[in-house]
Structure 1
Amino acid sequence: MAADAGRLGVLDLQGGVQEHLDHLRRIGVAAQAVKRATELEGLAGLIIPGGESTCLARLLDIFGLSHAISQAYSGGLKLWGTCAGAILLASEITDEPPFLGLIDMAVSRNAFGSQLDSFNRVVEVPAVAVEPVPVTFIRAPKIVRVGAGVRVLLQLDDYIAAAEDEQILVTVFHPELTANLAFHRYFARKCGLTPSDNDAANLDPDWTPQSWMRFAHHS
């Protein structure tokens, strides 16, 4: 599958779709929402956003996207799963069968409890950014094991919060829900793209949680 001149996709079934699109546009990367299998053609990478993993799995099957994503991955498509997206990509899920199963790791769903147990934290991820990165956890899973071919990017307490292999990035938190652009720049580079060079401005001073709304009607 040949990538076009630098376009990324965001799976548009549930979750922070517009927020991801907003962050990608802020780093100068062309991006589109993806609802159909044909819209995967030519993409350099696809973000699978957070949401409810069981619901997302059903929607992927209903829209005929589960097989299409696996096929596109086999053809070289890079993937980034955030929160529920990371669950769907895992090869092992505690107490239930895996779904896409494309990265060698085990996750525990809803490991932090309910929505009321959501929290923010500032972390250091040297592979991704020089400066500390703010992250938001919402009903987050925990990565409890990774295979030999998977690199840990962020370890917190008794769990792994971010990891990657050659083709897949996973984060159990939501980078799209903060002003920070570091993880979106990192994924764009992983996909072979060239985001805007201003890494020092990963924290966008003009961003608000509603910034994505000015782009929504274009998607």
Structure 2
Amino acid sequence: MKRVGVLALQGAVREHAQSIEACGAEAVLVKWPSDLEDLDALILPGGESTTMRRLVDRYGLLGPLRAFAKSGKPMFGTCAGLILLAKEIVGYPEPHLGVMDIKVERNSFGRQADSFETPLSVKGMEAPFEAVFIRAPHIVSAGSGVEILGEHDGKIVMARSRQFLVCSFHPELTDDHRITAYFLSMISSQTDISLPKRSVYSKV
């Protein structure tokens, strides 16, 4: 069984774990460097990116997370997790992990009160994905090796580069597990992966 970690410092950790398990994998909560051992992949959930970075430093996870990224194992960043993975952040002198060739801007869609849901067309999916945006960032620009998978109002909100997958929204807050299933498929194959055509893992 695939073992997929969820960085369990802040955010919708339980919801990500439930989505992983709904897709037939084992969810592992990650709070300490030792928790990264023997994982097949790792999810960095949403939350507040600066707070999450402080907690990453407090728990001694920055170096181990960068080492995990260099190992080639898949990493999926949602919302704040996207910001952690980005190589450049608008208005900030330095990135956090800085492992994905994208430039991001925080809080691109308004405050908490401006949160919204919208059907999102995702590359490779026949049916739209109901995306939940909460104080979401967006990708301002992406390197040549980055594949754009989704846009909303002209802003890039989902992308992939090699073993890194990111999205601005919160797929774990829905009963549609297609995006989690796609991420899990990256564990066994690093190239030419297609998104599921239908929500085979949706809850009944």
Pair in the same fold by TM > 0.5: yes
SS of the aligned residue for 2:10 comes to: coil
RMSD: 1.6
Q: 1:121 to 1:7 in 2, by over 3 A?
A: same
- Report the counterpart of residue 193 of structure 2 in structure 1: none
Give the TM-score of the pair, scaled to structure 2: 0.92
| Cα deviation, residue 94, structure 1 | 0.5
1:156-167 mapped onto 2 (5 Å cutoff): 156-167=152-163
Q: 1:179 to 1:75 in 2, by over 3 A?
A: same
2:55 aligned with 1:56, yes or no? no
Is the CA contact 2:121–2:151 (under 8 Å) kept in the aligned structure 1?
A: no
Aligned counterparts of 1:200 and 1:98: Cα–Cα separation in 2? 34
Q: 1:9 to 1:139 in 2, by over 3 A?
A: same
Is the CA contact 1:92–1:101 (under 8 Å) kept in the aligned structure 2?
A: yes
- Report the counterpart of residue 203 of structure 1 in structure 2: 202
1:105-116 mapped onto 2 (5 Å cutoff): 105-116=102-113
- Report the counterpart of residue 189 of structure 1 in structure 2: 185
Is the CA contact 1:125–1:133 (under 8 Å) kept in the aligned structure 2?
A: yes
SS of the aligned residue for 1:116 comes to: helix
Aligned counterparts of 1:198 and 1:134: Cα–Cα separation in 2? 15
1:142-161 mapped onto 2 (5 Å cutoff): 142-161=138-157
Aligned counterparts of 1:113 and 1:191: Cα–Cα separation in 2? 34
Percent identity between the two aligned chains: 42
Equivalent residue in structure 2 for 1:124, among 113, 121, 124: 121
Aligned counterparts of 2:46 and 2:182: Cα–Cα separation in 1? 18
- Report the counterpart of residue 27 of structure 1 in structure 2: 23
| Cα deviation, residue 198, structure 1 | 10
Is the CA contact 1:44–1:192 (under 8 Å) kept in the aligned structure 2?
A: no
Aligned counterparts of 2:199 and 2:132: Cα–Cα separation in 1? 21
CA deviations on 1:32-88 (whole Å, 9 max, x unpaired) are: 111111111111110000000000001001101111010111122211000000001
Is the CA contact 1:44–1:191 (under 8 Å) kept in the aligned structure 2?
A: yes
2:86 aligned with 1:90, yes or no? yes
Is the CA contact 2:126–2:197 (under 8 Å) kept in the aligned structure 1?
A: no
2:70 aligned with 1:70, yes or no? no
**Stretches of 4+ moved more than 3 A in 1?**
197-203
- Report the counterpart of residue 15 of structure 1 in structure 2: 11
Unaligned runs of 5+ in 1: 206-219
AA of the residue aligned to 1:8: V
Aligned counterparts of 2:88 and 2:60: Cα–Cα separation in 1? 22
Aligned counterparts of 2:141 and 2:37: Cα–Cα separation in 1? 32
- Report the counterpart of residue 103 of structure 1 in structure 2: 100
| Cα deviation, residue 191, structure 1 | 1.4
Aligned counterparts of 1:16 and 1:41: Cα–Cα separation in 2? 22
- Report the counterpart of residue 179 of structure 1 in structure 2: 175
| Cα deviation, residue 157, structure 1 | 2.0
| Cα deviation, residue 113, structure 1 | 1.6
CA deviations on 1:1-27 (whole Å, 9 max, x unpaired) are: xxxx41100000000000000011111
Unaligned runs of 5+ in 2: 190-195
- Report the counterpart of residue 140 of structure 1 in structure 2: 136
Number of aligned residue pairs: give it.
197
Give the TM-score of the pair, scaled to structure 1: 0.86
